[in-house]
Structure 1
Amino acid sequence: MRPTWAARAALVLVATVLTMAASLPSAAEAGLLDRKKKGETHELKDFNFDEGIKEGRWLVMFHAPWCGHCKRFGPVLSDAAENYFGDEIKVAKVDATLQKKLKSRFEINSYPRVMYFEDGEKVAEYRSGRSLDALLAFGERMLADPLRHFEKPEDLLAWFSQPSTERDPAKDPVSFVVLGKTVSPEAKSVQTVAEAAKALRPSALFAECLGEACWAHFCKGSSPPSFCEGADAGDAPVLLRFEANEVPVWFQGDMLDVEAVKTWASTQNVPVFTELGTHNFQSLSAQPGRMLVLGAVNPDDRKNTTQFLSKLRAMARGQASSFPEDALSRVVMAHIDGKAWTAFLEDYGIFLDDLPRIVIIDTEGDAFYEDLEEEAKGVEQFVVRALDGEISPQSSGIVLSSKRLWRSFLRSLPMSGVILALVLLVVIMFFVVLCASEFELEDDAITDPDETTAAGVAEPRDTKKTQ
């Protein structure tokens, strides 16, 4: 019996799949990591990952071949490896679509994911921007002393305010400093801060300026901070949070409790009111237990923009009487250029002609709040009601994913249209083959009552009746 066209098509499909499977790399290939010469990008797999990163500093990107962000960030990572990091920080890539064990182990659900390891242990996850400058700044922080040392206040102030290889103060304005008039760098409390600084170094900057000069500089004036008062002031260290144009805040907990220092610094390591961009969106929107209150403005509308930002800044500084301190502790406040981020804001139902507007993003709850009527009653009231659950949120997952998928489809035309057409064609062919196979099986199952036997004699019908 000759095979039907449907059967032949199935055989071709099976042969194609087997050919593709044969072309995949196997674990029987080269053994442990081939340590390439200084300044190159390594490829790690399930079977050689732990051995490969067990010594030294490693920055590892988990990626997928189809990921557009990975394709753009990959060359930046390779540039840093080949021309800047050298042998100080080794760089590797892992194709998480093939290395299933590593994907499961590190819970890789989005791409790219970049992690930093020291001597085989994961230390941090890279969450900064995808530019070369941001990547190099991260590297500088990992290589630097976690607690920078200054003796002169002018050097400390320059570190606060001047761009350097480890940060741009305009984008990363928060610093933490230990002061003490008669405190030794070897004091246990200073070492506690140093331990906290090491743990937080991917995202926070710490320094110490001990001695008379720094103490006198920060305690001068007719109204010095309260930590400067008292006969024994300066004998014990003080940990301060500094940000340009903002009032310093000091830690009032136990300086010998490293976890308390880490918790306080993590909470305080957010600008009071800053502009949102690609360099800080992930860190600002993912603060534990806090929602992102985002003011979207049109910079061309200077009058309304100035008034709107002034109101939001007053809220962020705790200067708005109708915005309680409890509410302030549960939000991160920022503003965004609505012209530059038009597509992003449209995902949340906010359009350029409507600006200025507010959107509240709850990353942990996978939701957001956008309500023109509620906002018109007062920004402070709108935020407080959202925090208290008095306004129904909108789900981020389905809404944003569908809009971004559609936007990506339109941006990738005509190639995305060709791919969609091919997918539809494959689906149609599948159902045609399936239906054809079922019809053939039905034809084979039908028996003609007058069909002859092999001897050429008609098969008689059973005419017996039940007695």
Structure 2
Amino acid sequence: MHTAKNFALGLLAAAAVATASDVTQLKTDTFDEFVKTNDIVLAEFFAPWCGHCKALAPEYEEAATSLKEKDIKLAKIDCTEEAELCQKHGVEGYPTLKVFRGPDNVSPYKGQRKAAAITSYMIKQSLPAVSLLTKDTLEEFKKADKVVIVAYIDAADKASNETFGKIAEKLRDNYPFGASNDAALAEAEGVTAPAIVLYKDFDEGKAVFTEKFDVEAIEKFTKTAAIPLIGEVGPETYSDYMSSGLPLAYIFAETPEERKEISELLKPIAEAQRGVVNFATIDAKAFGAHAGNLNLKTDKFPAFAIQETVKNQKFPFDQEKAITLEAIKAFVDDFVSGKVDPSIKSEPIPEDNSGPVKVVVAKNYNDVVLDDTKDVLIEFYAPWCGHCKSLAPKYEELGALYAKSEFKDQVVIAKVDATANDVPDEIQGFPTIKLYAAGAKSEPVTYSGARTVEDLIKFISENGKYKASVIEETTEASAAPAATESPAAEEAAKEDHDEL
């Protein structure tokens, strides 16, 4: 009996260890006090049924444990139980993450949903925009993240101090910023004030800026120097490359050894094009399907392609040719000189496009979507996307309502398979729905509401030129807040996909 009791206690102890969490679950009556008594809190508003929330959970737990020693708290709120609290904080989809510095100082979390990214982002958020450094704190500050930026400026140089402060405020979500007025410390670091040193734990270890302090010049220097000469594209780095504003040259290869070998081969090109074209390897075994997004064959590696990230144009290198220093140099030089035409992937234009939802492909995209006389609501979807499949019958109903209304010649309901057609828009997840209003095609409005026919009609009437509202024929069941499947999250759809 004694043994059985000990065994039962042991099971309870093991269960307690297994369920111990460094994430604090908050309720309406504990939320305000928690954010008041902690300097900085990352709060996740979630729903138990949400697949994206389930995928985030282990990453969030790992980050909470990593941040515990820095006294940065992570919390979660179940919106199915605390609906009023979630509504108060403007939660429209799950998961929603917000950074709290007290109850009234709230900002959206803008980082990636991986443990390392959450940890890095929250450490940067916990620091002042610019940390004042001394010889005793500099070395520790250099280890705060993979990239840190330190300015060495005379205290009397108000203009340079002000300029650096502006950059720090603008980019504080991306990098930790520090500053020192100690001339001896600057000399020990090999610079003379005013200067900026970007310390990094890769490539040459640091980069130095000694030009005139100008916001645009410093920002360009920072974004260029902070990216590895030849980095690696993956779920955690993809958005950084896309937001850099520079074209990205992909090196696809199936083994680490082959990726290293080709990187060494092409290193002189990457060095010559630094600040003009970013270079990165990509694991062709894990992310080979992404080659298709660049109009490459997905079964022939190694391969090389350039993506113009701003215009979302693709420039695949002929896969029948060998990847040599001479061939890739000529290809990259021609790309930079504007001598290479982009490759356009498109399904055929439908012979019959008279349905209530117009089918858009790359070849008719401009004719349909950018028709300046019409309000065009377009859904960017993927065939494997579960949320897209759920939306399909409602979207068809929406199209039918407008097709037989007085607005049939003014409003177009359209859809495009964004995996089979090159589109100029940067699509982060599926489905993405945008309204291109007549007369305002350069400023599309992205839809983020619940995916009901009623709410989509309201969106069109509020944001379109023609304020076109139609009457829904059937009563819609209440819908959960819109979720979006990211190309990085196919696990949630139980499909075998390996998009970034």
TM-score range (shorter-chain normalised) is 0.5 to 0.7
Unaligned runs of 5+ in 2: 1-21, 348-359, 363-379, 394-500
Equivalent in the alignment of 1:254: 213
**Partners of 2:228 and 2:78 in 1: CA distance:** 34
1:296 is the counterpart of 2:252: yes
Equivalent in the alignment of 1:355: 301
Please state how far the C-alpha of 1:68 moved relative to its aligned partner.
3.1
Give a deviation string over 1:300-332, Cα, whole Å, max 9, x none. 654xx44421243322222xxxx5xxxx54432
Equivalent in the alignment of 2:111: 127
Q: 1:330 to 1:395 in 2, by over 3 A?
A: farther
Q: How many residues align?
A: 331
**Partners of 2:302 and 2:111 in 1: CA distance:** 29
- 2:255 aligns to what SS in structure 1? coil
- 2:285 aligns to what SS in structure 1? coil
- Output the TM-score relative to the length of structure 2: 0.50
1:77 is the counterpart of 2:60: yes
Please state how far the C-alpha of 1:242 moved relative to its aligned partner.
3.5
- 1:214 aligns to what SS in structure 2? helix
| RMSD (Å) for aligned C-alpha atoms | 5.2
**Partners of 1:317 and 1:83 in 2: CA distance:** 36
- 2:307 aligns to what SS in structure 1? strand
**Partners of 1:76 and 1:178 in 2: CA distance:** 33
- 1:310 aligns to what SS in structure 2? helix
Structure 2 letter corresponding to 1:91:
A
Structure 1 letter corresponding to 2:222:
A
Structure 1 letter corresponding to 2:167:
A
Structure 1 letter corresponding to 2:314:
F
| Mapped contact 2:307–2:315 kept (Cα < 8 A) | yes
- 2:125 aligns to what SS in structure 1? helix
Q: 1:117 to 1:317 in 2, by over 3 A?
A: farther
Please state how far the C-alpha of 1:212 moved relative to its aligned partner.
4.6
| Mapped contact 2:72–2:122 kept (Cα < 8 A) | no
**Partners of 1:116 and 1:390 in 2: CA distance:** 44
* Percent identity between the two aligned chains: 20
Q: 1:271 to 1:281 in 2, by over 3 A?
A: same
Give a deviation string over 1:144-163, Cα, whole Å, max 9, x none. 2443444339x645654xxx
Higher deviation after alignment, 114-123 or 289-298: 114-123
Equivalent in the alignment of 2:357: none
Unaligned runs of 5+ in 1: 1-37, 220-227, 229-233, 410-418, 425-467
Please state how far the C-alpha of 1:336 moved relative to its aligned partner.
2.0
**Partners of 2:303 and 2:91 in 1: CA distance:** 36
Q: 1:212 to 1:340 in 2, by over 3 A?
A: same
| Mapped contact 1:127–1:283 kept (Cα < 8 A) | no
Please state how far the C-alpha of 1:60 moved relative to its aligned partner.
4.5
**Partners of 1:275 and 1:134 in 2: CA distance:** 15
Q: 1:348 to 1:189 in 2, by over 3 A?
A: closer
- 2:118 aligns to what SS in structure 1? helix
1:392 is the counterpart of 2:343: yes
Equivalent in the alignment of 2:266: 312
| Mapped contact 1:178–1:237 kept (Cα < 8 A) | yes
Equivalent in the alignment of 1:464: none
Please state how far the C-alpha of 1:250 moved relative to its aligned partner.
0.5
Question: Which residues in structure 2 correspond to 1:4-403 (within 5 Å)?
Answer: 40-42=24-26, 57-61=40-44, 67-77=50-60, 80=63, 84=67, 88-89=72-73, 91-92=75-76, 112=95, 114-118=97-101, 120=104, 123=107, 125-131=109-115, 133-152=116-135, 156=138, 159-160=141-142, 166-167=144-145, 172=146, 174-180=147-153, 183-184=154-155, 189-190=160-161, 192-219=163-190, 234=192, 236-243=193-200, 244-246=202-204, 248-250=207-209, 252-254=211-213, 261-262=218-219, 264-266=221-223, 268-287=225-244, 289-299=245-255, 302=258, 305-318=259-272, 328-345=274-291, 348=294, 354-372=300-318, 378-383=327-332, 385=334, 388=338, 390-394=341-345, 402=382
**Partners of 1:366 and 1:63 in 2: CA distance:** 32
**Partners of 2:180 and 2:169 in 1: CA distance:** 17
- 1:265 aligns to what SS in structure 2? helix
- 1:316 aligns to what SS in structure 2? helix
Give a deviation string over 1:329-385, Cα, whole Å, max 9, x none. 443221123234344446556568633212333454345333425975832443455
**Partners of 1:64 and 1:364 in 2: CA distance:** 35
- 2:240 aligns to what SS in structure 1? helix
| Mapped contact 1:129–1:278 kept (Cα < 8 A) | no
Q: 1:363 to 1:112 in 2, by over 3 A?
A: farther
Please state how far the C-alpha of 1:282 moved relative to its aligned partner.
1.8
| Mapped contact 1:179–1:208 kept (Cα < 8 A) | yes
**Partners of 2:328 and 2:251 in 1: CA distance:** 10
